A and B are shown apart, each in its own frame.
Chain A
Amino acid sequence: MKRLDLSKLGQYVIVIIVAVTLNFALPRLMPGNPLALIAGVDVGLLTAEERAQIIEDVGLNEPILNQYADYWVSIATGDLGQSYRSGRPIKDIIAERLPWTLLLAGGALIISSFFGIILGAISAWRRGGKADVPLLTGMIALQSLPSFWLGMLLISVFAVNLGLLPSFGAISPAANYEGWEYFKDVLEHAILPIVTLSVLSTPGVYLTMRYSMLEVLGEDFIRTARAKGASERRVLFGHVTRNAIAPVVTFLAIRFAFSFGGAVIIETVFSYPGLGRLVFEAVSGRDFPVMQASFLVFTAAVLIANLIADLLYPILDPRTRAA
């Protein structure tokens, strides 16, 4: 067994440092000014002194290196600061938004891995068969759908024309449901965004599964198993699927991590209160602390997912384990 690769660890550290630095730099490189956001209304009515006071209050008058150092301190202490816009602690804001984003991402993950893995396995098992060709073409076609277009059409059909499902938000506003009613409400609101996200992410799972299966099917031990006269079903579920799953899990882990960035377009179309909308609004208003913090969450999620994928791969893939 190899010990943890030190140089690999070093590489992670470098990526973290560069990414954090860019997270700090990007907001400040953007043209525009957070003043309007901090001062709120009628920023044009402020006097020069009032403007200077506001800039000083939030520490934007400090030398850029001090601000940069402060950012590192805030990361180290876990105190992400306060939003310019609402003045609320960012930790609270993110804790509020994250579950909604995870609900969408998790729901889409479950649905797309269910369909993606099963259909991918069928496709690969009967490669070039009656099911494979339409499935493959159909999946590539789904991948080619513009996401906002799909979302808007779903709203148009299911919410506006049929009136079956709510068109916006995560819960019915100010309804104060409890228990089962609340659960139902959340579910109803999540259906359309989750369906949209699932439609868009199933093809990726499907293609990965299909590739991975085909690779495994070509290997000696499968041929041996088949030659030994094991039943098709046994070979499929007992050997092939188990061996083909590792790349799919890696793919899903990283895909899930990327969802911490929020689904900006989907959350905007459905007015869904997740991280993506938080980021979009922070970016439009130049809410530096919120931008930095949400980028940080995103960066961390992706790096952790990579790490987990690195660690899980050998466990999931019996071949690497045997080697």
Chain B
Amino acid sequence: MTPPAIPANRPRRLLPRSLADRLGWFGAIIVGFLILMAVFAPRLAPYDPSERVARPFLPPSSEHLLGTNDVGQDLLSELIFGARVSLTVGIVAAVVAMLIGTTVGVIAGYYPKRLGSVLMRFVDVVLILPFLPLLIVLAAYLGRSLTNTIIVIGVLIWAAPARIIRSQVLSLRSREYVLASRSMGAKDRWVILRHILPRTGLLATGSFVRAISGAILLEAALSFLGLGDPIQKSWGSILFWAQSRGAFLTPAWKWWVLPPGLAIMAASLGFALIAFAVEERINPKL
């Protein structure tokens, strides 16, 4: 739960279009590569990552390019399959966050008086809630599973997008065409669906991709604190095991610690760069 990094009122153009695009494409290539890896994991991975295929703690060899983990599972296969879990958690958690965030943001922005201010106070409270106990409470009531990790992350990160979207809706609300259609007696629902949502939708795309980037990092942090689901083969849980079996301090860090950390970084970076480019694209239309 960090403060939003970007002020809501954004400057017109941050980079010349071509450069922003190039960064975006760079991000897209990274993400595309990782998604391919996730989709074709069963074909790419030399072994079943949950099967114990060799002796524990083996260094890299021609049979096991990244060696084996503490119970003799193939680390390369774990890394490849890890893309599935980490990306799924990242994307789905971001969807959850955006569903909540957009709903709250749009309603709070469209009805700024009573309802809106109540909702925004709620957002304020969520932003300053102590993170760790909230997590444990949620995990305890939901039980431990992949779905619940996703829900927990989604619930933790929706507040920041909600704020951004609200401020956008606030300004849209006073645009002429919105005022015009309202004065012509259009129903609120119609105005929201016809005028507000399509335009916030664009802005939400940026927030969404950014949320994926954050969710992937959060999943790794949860796993590290032992609050994720270490049974799931995500990149975060590979690091959890590396840490709890002392790999950081041994030569094993080169094949056990470095690859999943770099994978997390690559995924998070890829999505962040896309988010950057998308926001660039949208900006002039705002």
Contacts and interface: CB of A to CB of B under 8 A. Distances in A.
A218 B6 contact: no
B11 A26 contact: no
B180 to A, nearest CB: 29
B178 to A, nearest CB: 25
Contacts of A140: 269, 272-273, 276
Contacts of B266: 144
Interface stretch (A14-22, A97-105, A183-191): A14-22
Interface string A251-289: 100110010010011001000000000011001000000
Nearest to A127: B15
Q: How many of chain A's residues touch chain B, expressed as a range?
A: 35 or more
Nearest to A137: B23
B133 interface: yes
Interface stretch (B60-68, B187-195, B213-221): B213-221
Contacts of A283: 132-133, 136
A19 B130 CA distance: 10
Interface in B232-276: 236, 239, 243, 248-249, 253, 257, 261, 264-269, 272-273, 276
B140 interface: yes
Interface in B1-56: 1-3, 5-7, 9-16, 19, 23, 26
Interface in A196-238: 203-204, 207-208, 210-212, 214-215, 218
Name the residue in A18, A146, A203, A254 with the highest tally of chain B Cβ atoms < 10 Å from its Cβ. A146
Contacts of A207: 5-6
Contact of A155 (B15, B239, B248): B248
B11 A145 contact: no
Contacts of B267: 144
Nearest to A152: B248
B121 A258 contact: no
A22 B16 CA distance: 46
B261 A146 contact: yes
B253 A153 contact: yes
Given A143-B272, A146-B261, A211 B14 contact: yes
Nearest to B130: A295
Nearest to A217: B11
A247 B7 contact: yes
Interface stretch (A50-58, A78-86, A296-304): A296-304
A68 interface: no
Given A22-B125, A127-B14, A261-B131, A144 B19 contact: no
A245 interface: no
Nearest to B120: A11
22 contacts: A15-B128, A22-B129, A23-B130, A26-B129, A27-B133, A29-B137, A137-B23, A140-B273, A144-B267, A144-B272, A146-B265, A148-B220, A153-B257, A153-B261, A156-B253, A218-B12, A254-B3, A264-B132, A268-B225, A291-B130, A295-B130, A302-B128
Given A30-B133, A156-B253, A207-B6, 5 more contacts: A140-B273, A149-B261, A211-B14, A215-B9, A295-B130
Interface of B: 1-3, 5-7, 9-16, 19, 23, 26, 117, 121-122, 124-125, 127-134, 136-137, 140, 213, 217, 220-221, 224-225, 236, 239, 243, 248-249, 253, 257, 261, 264-269, 272-273, 276
